[in-house]
Amino acid sequence: MTDKPYNPDPHAHPGLHLIALFEACKGLLAVLAATGLEILGPLPLQGGISHLIRRFNLDPDHGALPSLLKMISPDAVHMAAAGIFAYGLLHLVEAWGLWRARAWASWLGCLSAALYLPFDIFAIVRHPGWASWSVLAVNLLVIAVLARDLVRRHPRR
């Protein structure tokens, strides 16, 4: 392999910086969503689902929406907000690590992007179109850039 030795300077990795910005945006949106969910509480969610049930003349006692309506409680909202907050915090930590060109962040990014691949493929099967294909392409590109970073860190001898 004739590649140059790995450069540990974070500024030498613009691909990692681009992915870090993307992950930071996802993390920030998740933290904001969790905060909004905590501030609003269960009443607006219950009202929105009740409105959907009335709007579409659905059976108020059977089906997915009435079941969801019964599950919404203050405790459930707190649990959902905590999960969303943890998800957002994980992406923010990953973004920090990628920005600083840390190997653990490349591993974390590869693994987390790979976890989405089955869902991306399912989305293409269920709803083929440019949006589904674009999401798959972005995830594959992220995996490729992060895997390339990891391979370059440990060249074969």
pLDDT digit string, tens, across residues 24-37: 999 999 999 999 99
- Between CA 15 and CA 146 the distance in angstroms is 8
Q: Which residues make Cβ contacts (< 8 Å) with residue 89, sequence separation at least 6?
A: 27, 31
Q: How far is CA 84 from CA 22, 80, 89, in A?
A: 17, 6, 9
In the predicted model, what is the mean pLDDT of residues 43-65?
88
Looking at per-residue pLDDT, the higher value among 6 and 132 belongs to: 132
In the predicted model, what is the mean pLDDT of residues 69-95?
94
Lowest-confidence pick of 3-12, 52-61, 63-72: 3-12
Predicted structure pTM score:
0.82
Q: What share of the chain in percent tops pLDDT 70? A: 96
In the predicted model, what is the mean pLDDT of residues 138-155?
91
Note the pLDDT tens digit of each residue in 127-136. 999 999 999 9
Mean pLDDT for the chain overall: 90
In the predicted model, what is the mean pLDDT of residues 82-89?
97
pLDDT band at 3 (very low <50, low <70, confident <90, very high): low
